[in-house]
């Protein structure tokens, strides 16, 4: 009996050992192939934000072909997607990203400031404030728009439930917050107090604050919660396409914010593994006709629309844009005033929860 | 000797039915019994079986071929590999640690012993997020040794070593936790007898101690393995979510789900669920084996 028992134990032990050998020999193979010296193949790590998964999947494939054609060097990608702020934090903590493609410039600013991995004037290095594409904030509503939501004011009507992520953690949510604020300022003759009252009212209509754009999209689309989702335009177009969901439709408000998600090489990481040249070319590629076409295909507004098929441009509705520089005096100021601890957003949240 | 397995408080419930069947504990009316059973079954069905079944239903929604295609994807294979690797390192490591710790605690007398026992339980007590964060704080670029490591081109977090470290941390207590109460119960008499008969320390361990604890050890290893493969929180913090590189299976499920790829996400999730079911099956087999041995021992004693 004891003999049988120890035999059974031996078999389990053997299983564990063989699993271990299999795994470790596999990983050993991985190491040798990536460091093989016959071809100086290169791996670029792109740390990006949440909704760009599909975009960069396509960009990476196209760039790999382009780069091999131009230089004979093979390039592959390690791609990472998390909330924009989380991603910036990871790069600061040592995620070896060669390039970052994030949702807002303060996140890259933070990497430059606290980890000093790139120069502070990074945003001047590429055209269009280092934004190869832009987007905006639109409304996603239920089929047939039963609550008749057409403009920002409709969001605060009685009985309307608004879904948007938490501006503290989500880049897209910050753009949405600022879009609402910008609208209210314009409508109320630049009256700050009235703008704040409007935004406060808006957040009183939000039943759950998700942590990221994708989470909120799923809340709205899959779980069927809420009447309207404040969404990245690209995310809304993609969500409808990807899920084949015909139970929702997009409403583009007459006025919204021009969302500018920037990109940059992380100089120190890229040079540490001799990838500077490829990393720079990768970001340049986003501005090329081929890159711009891929960008438009993935529902981002191209920074060079003349490179893109007219048909593709039709999916973007006409919106009157305001920029963060015009209305808020740039990200630094907007960040400090609205989203820092004890900022306006915190004030609004406290005021709303006190009312409940 | 297997008798000892039924002793400790922590395992008492697990091993309780290893005892000979008792008569009904109470004399409740039949309808009370029926109500209790119905409520339990309903509860389990609603909170456990339905969600679990829905994972499999979703995974197979587009047919068997799509289900299996989910595993041939490059990133899925890499995730499965990484998960196996993390378990293959952390489980043996913690088995060795668990045996050492249990041996030290139960066979020697020294000061601070109860503090040591408490410390072993630490990973049970802290949130997995904290378990991940501590490694970021130590090995991150802004952490204690991050800059030095980076100068020497050593990558710990956002790389495979970080994943393994986090997994080792969260599975730390499992083996020791199973062994300590049992070995405490058994005492040191058998070992003392062996030693007085001239056995060396190693012989005593291999021939006396190990056979005495083998089932508890196996049980601890199974649990540690299940946790190692299923861990999400701690690993998520140190992973950096690099697809094909630092995504374990649970992280891969999240990635796929976020990409609207519900079928593939469910397929990988179903694999993790299967792992859980296999763990349960092995656990039941172990318990069954123990019960049989116990009954055999009881028969030979009474005759």
Same domain, B106 and B246: yes
Same domain, B285 and B158: yes
Confidence tier at A144 by pLDDT (50, 70, 90):
very high
Same domain, B241 and B144: yes
Q: What is the pLDDT of residues A220-270, one digit of tens each?
A: 988 889 999 999 999 999 888 877 777 899 999 999 999 999 999 999 999
Residues of A in Cβ contact (< 8 Å) with B259? 53-54
Superfamily per CATH, domain A134-259+316-355? Periplasmic binding protein-like II (3.40.190.10)
3-state secondary structure of A259: strand
Contact B225 A16 (CB under 8 A): yes
- Residue that is last in its domain, among B33, B59, B85: B59
Contact B158 A54 (CB under 8 A): no
Sequence-ordered list of residues with C-beta below 8 angstroms from that of A29, at least 6 positions apart, any chain: none
Same domain, B149 and B42: no
Same domain, B48 and B130: no
Q: What is the pLDDT of residues B131-147, one digit of tens each?
A: 999 999 999 988 889 88
- CA B16 from centre of chain: 20
CA terminus-to-terminus distance, chain A: 67
Q: What is the mean pLDDT of residues A15-23?
A: 39
Same domain, B142 and B36: no
Q: Is A84 on the interface with B (CB under 8 A)?
A: no
Question: In whole angstroms, what is the distance from residue A78 CA to residue A350 CA?
Answer: 41
Residue A306 clears pLDDT 90, i.e. is over it:
yes
Number of structural domains chain B divides into: 2
Same domain, B99 and B233: yes
Same domain, B166 and B29: no
Confidence tier at A217 by pLDDT (50, 70, 90):
confident
Tokens of B193: 């007898």
> Closest chain A residue to B238 measured between Cα atoms?
A90
CB atoms within 10 A of CB B188: 14
**Domain A42-131+261-287, CATH:** 3.40.190.10
Q: What is the pLDDT of residues A73-131, one digit of tens each?
A: 999 999 999 888 889 999 999 999 999 999 999 999 999 998 999 999 999 999 999 99
Q: What is the mean pLDDT of residues A156-175?
A: 91
Q: Is A15 on the interface with B (CB under 8 A)?
A: no
Residue B250 lies in a domain: yes
Considering only residues B294 and A139, tell me which one the structure prediction assigns the higher pLDDT.
A139
Q: Is the whole-model pTM more than 0.90?
A: no
User: Chain B closest CA to A309's CA: distance in Å?
Assistant: 27
> Closest chain A residue to B79 measured between Cα atoms?
A23
A257 has which bridge partners?
Answer: A322
Nearest partner of A283 among A77, A126, A110, A146, judged by Cα: A126
ipTM of model = 0.73
Task: Give every residue of chain B whose pLDDT is below 50, as ranges.
Answer: 1-19
Contact pairs from chain A to chain B, CB under 8 Å: 96
Same domain, B29 and B174: no
Same domain, B137 and B187: yes
Q: What is the mean pLDDT of residues A128-155?
A: 95
Query: Do A134-259+316-355 and A42-131+261-287 fall under one CATH topology?
Result: yes
Give the domain CATH number at B136.
1.10.3720.10
Same domain, B29 and B158: no
Same domain, B52 and B132: no
Q: B75, B214, B260: best mutation site toward chain A, by most A Cβ within 10 Å?
A: B260
User: Chain A closest CA to B148's CA: distance in Å?
Assistant: 12
- Residue that is last in its domain, among B35, B59, B83: B59
B84, B211, B245 member nearest A78 (Cβ): B245
Q: Is A242 on the interface with B (CB under 8 A)?
A: yes
Q: What is the pLDDT of residues B54-77, one digit of tens each?
A: 999 999 998 899 899 889 888 999
User: Chain B closest CA to A23's CA: distance in Å?
Assistant: 5
Considering only residues B219 and A184, tell me which one the structure prediction assigns the higher pLDDT.
A184
Question: What is the domain range of residue B214?
Answer: 73-302
Q: Is A53 on the interface with B (CB under 8 A)?
A: yes
For A143-182, give one letter per residue: b (16+ CB within 10 A) or e.
eebebebeebebbbeeebbbbbbbbbbbbbbbbbbbbbbb
Residue B8 lies in a domain: no
């Amino acid at each position: 009996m004891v003999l049988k028992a120890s035999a059974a134990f031996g078999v389990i032990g053997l299983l564990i050992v063989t699993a271990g050998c299999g795994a470790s020999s596999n990983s050993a193979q991985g190491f040798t192939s990536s460091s093989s010296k016959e071809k100086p193949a290169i791996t670029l790590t792109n740390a990006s934000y949440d909704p760009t998964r599909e975009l960069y999947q396509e960009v990476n494939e196209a760039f790999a072909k382009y780069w091999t054609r131009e230089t004979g060097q093979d390039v592959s990608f390690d791609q990472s997607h998390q909330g924009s702020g989380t991603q910036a934090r990871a790069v600061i903590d040592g995620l070896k990203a060669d390039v970052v493609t994030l949702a807002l410039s303060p996140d890259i600013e933070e990497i430059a400031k606290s980890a000093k991995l790139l120069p502070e004037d990074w945003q001047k290095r590429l055209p269009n404030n280092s934004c190869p594409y832009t987007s905006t904030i639109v409304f996603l509503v239920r089929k047939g728009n039963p609550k008749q939501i057409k403009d920002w004011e409709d969001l605060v009507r009685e009985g309307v439930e608004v879904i948007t992520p938490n501006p503290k953690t989500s880049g897209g949510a910050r753009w949405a917050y600022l879009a609402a604020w910008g609208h209210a300022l314009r409508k109320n003759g630049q009256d700050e107090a009235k703008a704040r009252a409007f935004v406060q009212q808006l957040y009183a209509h939000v039943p759950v604050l998700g942590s990221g754009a994708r989470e909120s999209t799923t809340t709205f689309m899959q779980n069927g919660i809420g009447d309207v989702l404040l969404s990245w335009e690209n995310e809304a177009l993609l969500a409808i396409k990807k899920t084949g969901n015909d139970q929702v439709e997009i409403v583009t408000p007459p006025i919204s914010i021009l969302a500018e998600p920037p990109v940059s090489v992380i100089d120190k990481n890229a040079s540490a593994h001799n990838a500077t040249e490829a990393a720079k070319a990768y970001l340049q590629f986003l501005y090329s006709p081929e890159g711009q076409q891929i960008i438009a295909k993935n529902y981002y507004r191209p920074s060079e629309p003349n490179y893109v098929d007219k048909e593709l441009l039709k999916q973007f509705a006409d919106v009157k844009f305001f920029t963060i520089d015009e209305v808020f005096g740039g990200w630094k100021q907007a960040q400090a005033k609205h989203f820092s601890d004890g900022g306006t957003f915190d004030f609004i949240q406290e005021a709303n929860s006190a009312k409940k | 000797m297997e008798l000892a397995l039924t002793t400790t408080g922590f395992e008492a419930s697990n091993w309780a039915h290893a005892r000979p069947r008792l008569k009904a504990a109470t004399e409740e009316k039949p309808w009370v019994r029926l109500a209790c059973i119905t409520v339990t079954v309903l509860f389990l069905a609603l909170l456990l079986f339905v969600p679990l079944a829905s994972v499999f239903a979703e995974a197979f929604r587009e047919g068997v071929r799509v289900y299996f295609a989910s595993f041939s994807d490059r990133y899925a294979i890499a995730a499965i590999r990484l998960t196996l690797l993390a378990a293959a390192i952390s489980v043996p490591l913690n088995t060795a640690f668990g045996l050492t710790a249990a041996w030290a605690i139960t066979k020697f007398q020294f000061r601070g012993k109860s503090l040591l026992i408490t410390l072993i339980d630490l990973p049970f007590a802290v949130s997995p997020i904290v378990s991940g964060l501590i490694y970021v704080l130590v090995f991150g670029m802004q952490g204690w040794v991050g800059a030095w490591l980076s100068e020497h081109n050593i990558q710990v977090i956002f790389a495979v070593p970080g994943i393994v470290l986090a997994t080792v941390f969260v599975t730390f207590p499992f083996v020791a936790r199973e062994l300590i109460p049992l070995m405490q119960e058994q005492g040191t008499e058998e070992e003392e007898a062996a030693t007085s008969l001239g056995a060396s320390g190693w012989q005593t361990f291999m021939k006396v101690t190990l056979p005495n604890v083998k089932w508890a050890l196996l049980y601890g290893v199974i649990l540690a393995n299940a946790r190692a493969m299923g861990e999400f929180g701690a690993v998520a913090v140190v992973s950096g979510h690099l697809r094909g590189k630092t995504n374990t299976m649970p992280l891969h499920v999240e990635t796929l789900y976020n990409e609207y790829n519900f079928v593939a996400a469910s397929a990988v999730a179903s694999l993790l669920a299967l792992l859980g079911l296999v763990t349960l099956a092995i656990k039941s087999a172990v318990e069954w084996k123990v019960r049989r041995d116990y009954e055999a021992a009881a028969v030979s004693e009474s005759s």
